[in-house]
Chains A and B, each alone.
Chain A
Amino acid sequence: MTDQPTTGNPAPPAQTPQTPKTTRPTILASGSLMTWRGVDLITAAMLAVAFGVMFWGFDTFIYPILSTATAGFPPAGELMLGVWLIPAVVGALVIRRPGAALFTELVAANVELFLGNKWGVAVLLSGVLQGLGVELALALFRHRRFGVVVAVLGGVLAAVFEIVFYEWYSYVADYSMAWKAIYLACGMVSGAAIAGVGGWALVRGLARTGALNAFPPGQEIRESHPV
Chain B
Amino acid sequence: MSLTRSEPPLAGAPVEVRDGALVEAHGGALVEVRDLTWRPFGRREPVLSGVSLRIEPGSRVLLAGPSGAGKSTLLRALAGVLTTTESGDFSGSVLIDGAPPAGSSVGLMMQDPDDALVAGRAGRDVAFGPESFGMPRDEIWSRVRTALASVGFPYDEDRPTNALSGGETQRLALAGVLALTPRLVLLDEPTSMLDPSSAAIVREAITSAVRASGATLVMVEHELSAVVRGVDRLVVLDPDGRVSADGPVGATLETSSELLVAQGVWVPGVPAPRPLEVDRALCAPAATRSAGVSVSPGDQVLVSAESVSVTRQPRASVMSAKRHLPAVQALVDVCATVSAGECVAVVGPSGAGKSTLTALMAGVDTPTLGQVRAGAALLAGSGTDVPEVIHGWTSRALAARFGWVPQQAEHVVVARTVREDVLSTSRLLGLDDEAMQARVDGLLKVLGLSALAGADPHHLSGGEMRRLALAGAIAHGPSVLVLDEPSVGQDRLTWSAVAGVVVAARDAGVGVVLATHDPLLIALADRLITLSAGRVVDPEAGPSPSPRASALSTVGAATSQGGRWAGLAGRSGPLSVLLASVVLIFGAAFISDLRTALIAVGIQIALAPVVLGVGRPPWFRLLPGLFAVLSVGFSNWLLSPGHELSTGVLAGLRVAFFVLPGVMLAARIDPSTLGDHLGQRLRLPARPVVAAVAALHRFESLGEQWDQLVRIRRVRGLGPGRSPRARGHHLAALTFGLLIQTLRQAGRMAVAMEARGFSAAATATVTAPVGAPARRRTWAESARWLLADSLMLALGLAVAGIPLLLSRF
Contacts and interface: CB of A to CB of B under 8 A. Distances in A.
Interface in B531-581: 578, 581
Contact of B459 (A5, A44, A53, A210): A210
B766 A1 contact: yes
Given A37-B84, A172-B635, A209 B659 contact: no
Interface in A74-99: 74-75
Contact of A107 (B44, B692, B753): B692
Contact of A111 (B318, B641, B655, B742): B318
Interface in B611-626: 621, 624-625
B743 A39 contact: no
Contacts of B691: 38, 41-42, 44-45
A1 B746 contact: no
B102 A2 contact: yes
Interface stretch (A15-23, A143-151, A219-227): A219-227
Interface residues of A, number: 75
B128 interface: no
A125 interface: yes
A39 B671 contact: no
A46 B743 contact: yes
Given A38-B753, A223-B42, A211 B744 contact: yes
A13 interface: no
Given A121-B658, A173-B636, A210-B459, A39 B746 contact: yes
A116 interface: yes
A42 B638 contact: no
Given A174-B640, A202-B739, A211-B743, A115 B316 contact: yes
Contact of A53 (B621, B703, B763): B703
A121 B582 contact: yes
A206 interface: yes
Contact of A50 (B86, B87, B625, B739): B739
Nearest to A224: B42
Interface stretch (B88-96, B165-173, B283-291, B360-368): B88-96
Interface centre among B100, B687, B739 (most CB of A within 10 A): B739
Contact of A223 (B41, B90, B319, B584): B41
B295 interface: no
A114 B746 contact: no
B736 interface: yes
A222 to B, nearest CB: 3
B573 to A, nearest CB: 15
Interface centre among B87, B93, B632, B641 (most CB of A within 10 A): B87
B598 interface: no
A5 B695 contact: no
Interface string A1-38: 11111111100000000000000000000100001111
Given A38-B750, A45-B691, A1 B759 contact: yes
Contacts of A185: none
A39 B666 contact: no
B332 interface: no
Interface centre among B323, B664, B740 (most CB of A within 10 A): B740
Given A119-B628, A174-B640, A210-B459, A46 B687 contact: no
Contacts of B742: 46-47, 49-50
B660 interface: yes
Contacts of A202: 735-736, 739
B392 interface: no
Nearest to A113: B666
A39 B85 contact: yes
Interface in B624-683: 624-625, 627-628, 631-632, 634-636, 638-641, 647-648, 650-651, 654-655, 658-667, 669, 671
A172 B760 contact: no
Interface string A180-219: 0000000000000000000000100110111111100001
Contacts of B647: 174
Given A111-B318, A171-B655, A209 B458 contact: yes
Contacts of B584: 121
A210 to B, nearest CB: 5
Given A39-B84, A74-B639, A1 B760 contact: yes
Nearest to A169: B589
Interface in A104-122: 107, 110-111, 113-122
B87 A8 contact: yes
A52 interface: yes
B747 interface: yes
Contacts of A43: 743, 746-747, 750
B634 to A, nearest CB: 7
B758 interface: yes
Interface stretch (B75-83, B175-183, B344-352, B519-527): B75-83
A124 interface: yes
A120 B41 contact: no
B312 to A, nearest CB: 17
B154 interface: no
B456 interface: yes
A39 B671 CA distance: 21
Interface in B736-781: 736, 738-740, 742-747, 749-750, 753-754, 757-760, 762-763, 765-766
A38 B687 contact: yes
Given A39-B85, A114-B669, A226-B43, A1 B102 contact: yes
Contacts of B459: 209-210, 227
A125 B650 contact: no
B42 A120 contact: no
B81 A1 contact: yes
A169 B803 CA distance: 14
Given A120-B625, A169-B589, A115 B318 contact: yes
B696 interface: yes
A157 interface: no
Contacts of A56: 316, 703
A47 B662 contact: no
B738 to A, nearest CB: 6
B624 A3 contact: no
A174 B111 CA distance: 57
Lowest 9 CB-CB distances: which A-B pairs, in order? A120-B662, A8-B87, A3-B100, A222-B42, A74-B635, A45-B695, A118-B624, A121-B662, A209-B458
Interface of B: 38, 41-44, 80-90, 93-94, 100-103, 316, 318-319, 323, 456, 458-459, 578, 581-582, 584-585, 588-589, 621, 624-625, 627-628, 631-632, 634-636, 638-641, 647-648, 650-651, 654-655, 658-667, 669, 671, 687-688, 691-692, 694-696, 698-699, 702-703, 706, 735-736, 738-740, 742-747, 749-750, 753-754, 757-760, 762-763, 765-766
Given A36-B687, A219-B87, 17 more contacts: A1-B102, A3-B93, A5-B87, A9-B87, A30-B87, A42-B746, A42-B750, A45-B696, A47-B746, A57-B706, A74-B634, A74-B639, A116-B624, A119-B625, A172-B632, A174-B636, A212-B743
Interface of A: 1-9, 30, 35-39, 41-50, 52-54, 56-57, 59, 67, 71, 74-75, 103, 107, 110-111, 113-122, 124-125, 169-176, 179, 202, 205-206, 208-214, 219, 222-223, 226-227
13 contacts: A3-B102, A45-B696, A53-B706, A54-B706, A107-B696, A114-B671, A120-B661, A174-B636, A209-B458, A213-B42, A214-B86, A219-B41, A227-B42
